[in-house]
Structure 1
Amino acid sequence: MPKTAITGSLVTVEFDKSADMPIYRQITEWMKTAILSGRLAAGTKLPSTRILADELGVSRNTVVQVFEMLTEEGLLSSRVGAGTFVSDIIQDQTIIEPDTPIEPASRAGGYPFRSLSRRGKSLVVSATGEFSERPTPFMPDLPDLREFPIRTWMRLLNETSGRLTGQILAESSNAGYEPLRRAIGQHLNASRGMHCNYQQVIVTTGSQQGLDLICRMLLDAGDPVWLEEPGYVGARSIIRANGGFVCPVPVDESGAKFDEAMQTHPVPRLIFTSSSRHYPLGGQLDQERREELVRIAARNGTWIVEDDYDNEFIYNGNSLRSIFAMDGEQRTIYMGTFSKTLLPSFRLGYIVVPLDLSEHFAKARAVVDRHASLIEQMVLSEFMLRGLFVSHIRRMRNLYQARRQQLTTGLEDIFGKDCYMSAPDSGTHVILPLIKGADDRAVASRALEKGLVLRPLSPYYMTEERRNGLLVGFSAFNEDEIRRGLGNLDLLRGEIVPKLGM
């Protein structure tokens, strides 16, 4: 097998052939500064004098002279048969380090227009970075990463990678890898009562990107958007960042109250709903309100975005048929993700659009970022077509149901019966409601000091009429971790006062 020659780093050098200073001196000074400042890090292999001379457009003797001068100063060292390297020296800290932020001109008295756009400011304000994404009890809404079938996945990866050819790369659709789109369509038709073909499936890099694409395609600045109250903060952020005017629609045990919204809000351009399991409260949108939602959309030319993120984890009984399946007027866009069923870092999701919009969405997908990682799409298609995806869901459903039971029993042992918010036996978190006047953000911060992640409920509300509570996750934690987490939670018994009997 032939060896690959390591020719050294690409080096950019600035010099002026018309200047009075000799070229070799200009190059020497530039490289000296680069080495002392750390732009050329210690141990960096430089290209040979011949290669560097060709790249700079100077004679080889000029580069040899530069290397000799820098070697004499101890900045370069040569190894016989290996090449020339940047020496391991103490860098001059008076020179700006490469990672040191440079003060913007606006602060230094320069131009005054250095600012984000309104959309940029909206994105920054809505971003949440309070907690680490590393699984820590009781962080909600994470799958158990240890239960991911990594060996099976790697076997499929080895099988599939041999089929990854230049032709497949060239012919891959902007809407996604066709076998995966077919597999997703088949899965939804069987499990969600839908009737869609693969052309309606657009593969995305997750539900966030899917919603962003929908908003770009269907919203104009100022368009009213109905969003459940409380509602998913990520959806609220994306809608606002795309210019949508968010109108909160109150939620009760039967889902969003669309009849009340018609009396108080402007006619919506788009309605966002988490139909199978409302986020974060956990209720399911009942059949009557699903039918009402479809009627509102048909009557007003409104688009429905159905976020069906948690339909796989309903433990007792089946979820209702999807809104997409019952919408005869085809005003519904369906969103799904693999982040909760497989891995959060997987970054694959999908949307299903009406057939007459599919070509438009595929073209827009190309403008946004072409397509998601092709090899992962190929492996996932095999994972689904061989029935492994459904088997994985069934196994995780049984596992999560047992963990939910352990958590809720433990919460009642600590805080009393009916301490957690009653919701269908589903999802990957429960809510511990707090008494009126409690500060759930402060309680969450206090719990973090004890090594517990309890996400506060109040930030999910837009209006002042909000409940205080804590989202307590269970899916990512095994029996021992839940037991230890409950022990730490017991230490906060005096600071957490649940509202019982909700």
Structure 2
Amino acid sequence: MKSTAVLSISLNSQARTALYQQLQAALRQLIQSQRLRPGERLPSSRELAQVLEISRTSALKAYDNLIAEGFLLSLPKRGIYVSDNLPTIDLCGETSRPTDNLSPLTLAFDSVADVRHFPSRQWAACLRRSWLNPDPGLMMGQHPSGWPAFKQQVADYLRDLRGLDCSAEQVLITAGNRDALTILVQALLKDDTPIWLENPCYVQMASLFALLGKPARAIALDEQGAIVPDGCFGMAVITPNRQYPLGTVMSPSRRQDWLTQQQVMAKRNKPLWLIEDDYDSEFIYQGRAHVPLMQLDGSQSTFFVGSFSKVLFRGLRLGFILAPPAQVQRLKDSQYFLGSSSALGMQPALADFMLGGEFASHLRRMRRFYLNQRDLLLNTLACLTPWLTFEKNTGGMHLVAYLKSPWQTLAKDGKAWDAKVAERAEQLGLKLNCLSAHYFQGNPISGFVLGYSQLDETQMKYAVGLFKQCLQEVLSSSA
């Protein structure tokens, strides 16, 4: 029987990449993800061309290349089949059939939630229950800071998971971190008030502040976390629990330095607002998360920010701000002025999901899953030590692999070496997240941010094989 998986293929005729290359990469990905299994028959080149509305020449060329790579077999008078003996990958991640064919991106070391393990049936039941008899105020959009029952669940969650002594009144529901930061900037800062941001960071945050007319100043990092800049006041966005992208956990003494700086600047009538981004606190594999800065701050100048997209699914677009009691109203005024952009209709479903215990169960399952994924990646990366150094991380959904010292200087063309490796990887169908790209000021460090949440064992070994090929080609001749 012919496979129907090819019906999911979508090609872009406006893209720079040739259609046969797009098709070749899409078919390879279907095989690697096991949506096309060994022995399955594919449509003929003529049928495939008609279904995808492309030329038969493009279909034939994609098939021919995949036959040459060993992914497909052409059996005379029978048709095209997925090979029973797919290209194999050894424990060092080397592909048995390396190819120089250019292709669009098909694999990535991503760190977003793995939705394959999301409890869809339970979620569907929550959606149904929560909308059988909906709150009229919900349908009329009368809860700009969030649906009250959902805010209560968020407060309970933060109390149970993070030990925060808080109430539902302190919670404002947002569309995620960008929305939260926009609200905080509008509510707290004057025109000449500086914003401080860890360097490196999630670079879209630096871009957001620049777009808001508030270019960020850099906070340096060391092994203890974010270093308090001299005379720091205004707004500082920090990630004490697990810094992104470096994964550093802020030490107790450094946390106290930030709280002391708040007190010092308050006496000078220059408030320091701390925005505590509780990144990756849900997935800790060793030890326990530290007490949040907000819980330790008696000045009511620290805000706690988080998102559910990272732990559930990216398209959810729900997050929160936990504000000190004295600052709640000014944030509500800011949110009302800007217009609420959170998904109000999803809030009753997530409240039901949390109240029934499904949320906590899902977190426990995914914590075990991501821990296994981390160990798998660490084992698979062992063959890359001629070029990279990396350590076992104690939490989160990614680790950082640093290029060794010969490649921490810039190349002759002025590019960072990680960027040059990533360029070659893109040609082979692998997307790499360069550490140097996360610096918005100063001299960047070269390395790679390697997420392990999305790839199964076969895909991960294949991706590491491509990674090794790129490191060999780009770096070995330059050492």
Tell me if TM exceeds 0.5: yes
Say if 1:171 and 1:494 are closer, same or farther in 2 by CA, change over 3 A.
Answer: closer
The answer on 1:180 being equivalent to 2:150 is yes
User: Does 1:399 pair with 2:369?
Assistant: yes
Q: CA RMSD in A?
A: 2.1
| Contact 2:138 2:344 (8 Å CA) reproduced | no
The offset of 1:136, in angstroms, is: 5.2
Q: Say which of 346, 361, 368 aligns to 2:316.
A: 346
Partner of 1:430: 399
Residue of 312, 315, 328 corresponding to 1:358: 328
Kept in 2, the 8 Å contact 1:203–1:371? The answer is no
Counterpart amino acid of residue 141 in structure 1: S
- Structure 1 residue identity aligned to 2:224: S
Please tell me whether the aligned partners of residues 160 and 378 of structure 1 are also in contact (alpha carbons under 8 angstroms). Answer: yes
Does the Cα contact within 8 Å between 2:165 and 2:295 map onto a contact in 1?
Answer: yes
Q: In 2, distance between residues paired with 1:165 and 1:177? A: 9
In the TM superposition, residue 336 of structure 1 has moved relative to its aligned partner by 0.3
Which residue does the alignment assign to 1:464?
442
Aligned length: 359
Structure 1 position 481 matched with structure 2 position 450: no
* 2:218 alignment partner AA: P
1:282 is matched with which residue? 247
Cα distance in structure 1, aligned partners of 2:436 and 2:119: 36
Residue matched to 2:166: 196
Paired residue secondary structure (1:433): strand
- 1:497: how far off? 4.9
The aligned counterpart of 1:138 is 108
Matched, 1:299 2:264: yes
**Is residue 2:211 matched to residue 1:241?**
yes
Q: 1:404: how far off?
A: 0.8
2:279 alignment counterpart: 309
**Aligned residue type for 1:446:** R
Q: Distance between the aligned counterparts of 1:495 and 1:198, measured in 2?
A: 55
Q: Which runs of 5+ in 1 are unaligned?
A: 1-133
Name the structure, 1 or 2, with higher relative contact order (CA <8 Å, separation 6+). 2
Contact kept? 2:174, 2:342, Cα under 8 Å:
yes
Q: Provide, for residues 178-215 of structure 1, a one-character-per-residue CA deviation record: whole Å limited to 9, x for no partner.
A: 11100110111111121110011000011110111111
SS at match of 2:274: strand
SS at match of 1:472: strand
Matched, 1:270 2:235: yes
Amino acid across the alignment from 1:277: R
Do structure 1's residue 208 and structure 2's residue 178 form an aligned pair? Answer: yes
> Which structure has the greater CA radius of gyration?
1
Q: Is the 8 A contact 1:180 1:381 kept in 2?
A: yes
Match of 2:356 in 1: 386
Superposition deviation, residue 360 in structure 1: 2.2
What is the identity, as a one-letter code, of the residue corresponding to 2:332? A
Equivalence for 1:447: 425
Q: Deviations over 1:79-118 (max 9, x none)?
A: xxxxxxxxxxxxxxxxxxxxxxxxxxxxxxxxxxxxxxxx
User: Take 2:344 and 2:149, find their aligned partners in 1: how far apart are those partners?
Assistant: 11
SS at structure 2 position matched to 1:492: helix
Code of the residue aligned with 2:457 in structure 1: it is E
Q: Which amino acid aligns with 2:257?
A: E
1:496 shift after superposition? 5.9
Displacement, 1:318? 1.0
Whichever residue aligns with residue 372 of structure 1, its letter is S
Could you report, residue by residue, the CA deviation over 1:49-90 in whole angstroms, capped at 9, with x for unpaired residues?
xxxxxxxxxxxxxxxxxxxxxxxxxxxxxxxxxxxxxxxxxx
Question: Does the 8 Å contact 2:113/2:453 carry over to 1?
Answer: yes
